[in-house]
Amino acid sequence: MNSVVMRAIGTANPRRYATQQEFYDWLVTHFQLTPEEYDLYKRVLVDGPIQGRYFGIDNDEQGADLSPDALIERFSKYGTSTAVEAARDAMHAVGLEPRDIGGLVVNTCTGYLCPGLTSYVSEGLGLEPSTKIMDLMGMGCGGAIPNMECAAGLLARNLGKPVMSIAVEICSATMYMGANPDLVISNSIFGDGAAAVILDVPERSGPVQAKIVDFETGLYPRHREDLRYRTENGRLRNVLSKRVPLIGAKVAKETACRLLERHGLSAEQIDFWAVHPGGTLVLEQIGEKMGLTDEALRFSYEVFHEFGNMSSPSVLFVLKRLLRDAKPRPGQKGVLLSFGAGFSAYAALVEF
């Protein structure tokens, strides 16, 4: 593939932050739960590994309105504002103005709008009318990596300007109450956030965080019913089977290994891993199958602990923290690895 570099990563979350204890207290006040639900919510929220999460709501009472119209309104408002904030964070880091952006790719799976979020985000940022835009829908937690591959394709058209790649999810707009354990788990671990990456060709001047060497995809529709959204009563309802950690680790390994083999590399030759923090069980399984230590996955565990699972932006939150704290040396290699609905898995090989 043609050379593509990452110039900056920006992240953002809605303003409302709640600890897991605060969310549990709110939940038991606003909803009628069975004894089994009480017990499972307590174990996952109060005794679990997540410290707290961000929510796209104006006030706590609004969060209890789970009607389809209210949920899509929240998705539209906070999907736009959070994506715009993340984009501005990235642009500010490298001194870019709206007129400097030639393309915009936005992925999401937590709400549907027509026109898509690119219409609202480009307006919020004040992008030029000639900006090339693409909306990617339904790719689940893995969506940020194919988003960047799509953005790299736009760069290959010689736009003459950088391209903005934004992953944004308002997972709280898909909250669905019910006694099924997968609903309890979903309501307890998913949070809201956005991440923006400015991609460019290396020939233009400016700071470089990493060079993207290659991408890889893995599609496994035979596992579709283990991880997906389906529509019930006019709302998105998450489907999250007990097999997700095992399947996720298996397909992630297969996808990553195909990418590495193509470049004559082994997992041991990768200096840094930015793995989607889908949960502690998922990370444990990926570590076991890929031969990665907890230290190698430290940044993924940290993001999950502090933010929960924000779906597609999560892997970029991990990469941003890795760049900030690990400070990779020039020439060191890294792998971005995520998986999502479908079942699907995505990987990117980068060189710092």
Do residues 12 and 79 make contact, with C-beta atoms less than 8 angstroms apart?
no
Same domain, 194 and 256: no
pLDDT band at 285 (very low <50, low <70, confident <90, very high): very high
Given this model, what pLDDT does residue 3 score? 84
Q: What is the dihedral of CA 260, 264, 266, 270, to 10 degrees?
A: -70
Q: What is the pLDDT of residues 58-84, one digit of tens each?
A: 999 999 999 999 999 999 999 999 999
Q: Strand, helix or coil at 279?
A: coil
Q: What is the mean pLDDT of residues 338-347?
A: 93
pLDDT band at 238 (very low <50, low <70, confident <90, very high): very high
Q: What is the pLDDT of residues 103-122, one digit of tens each?
A: 999 999 999 999 999 999 99
With respect to residue 205, please indicate whether it lies within any of the assigned structural domains.
no
Q: Range of 273's domain?
A: 210-351
> Encoding tokens for residue 176?
């669905």
Q: How many domains does the chain have?
A: 2
pLDDT band at 13 (very low <50, low <70, confident <90, very high): very high
Given this model, what pLDDT does residue 158 score? 76
Identify the CA nearest to 164 among candidates 142, 141, 147.
Answer: 147
Given this model, what pLDDT does residue 43 score? 93
Do residues 245 and 282 make contact, with C-beta atoms less than 8 angstroms apart?
yes
Given this model, what pLDDT does residue 85 score? 98
Q: What is the pLDDT of residues 133-178, one digit of tens each?
A: 999 999 999 999 999 999 999 998 877 899 999 999 999 999 999 9
What is the 3-state secondary structure of 19-62?
EHHHHHHHHHHHCCCCHHHHHHHHHHHHCCCCCEEEECCCCCCH
Same domain, 290 and 315: yes
- Name the residue with higher pLDDT: 123 or 2: 123
Given this model, what pLDDT does residue 205 score? 83
CA 11 – CA 268 distance, rounded (Å) = 30
**Residue 15 — φ and ψ, nearest 5°?**
-75, -30
CATH number of residue 291's parent domain: 3.40.47.10
pTM (2 d.p.) = 0.96
Same domain, 219 and 132: no
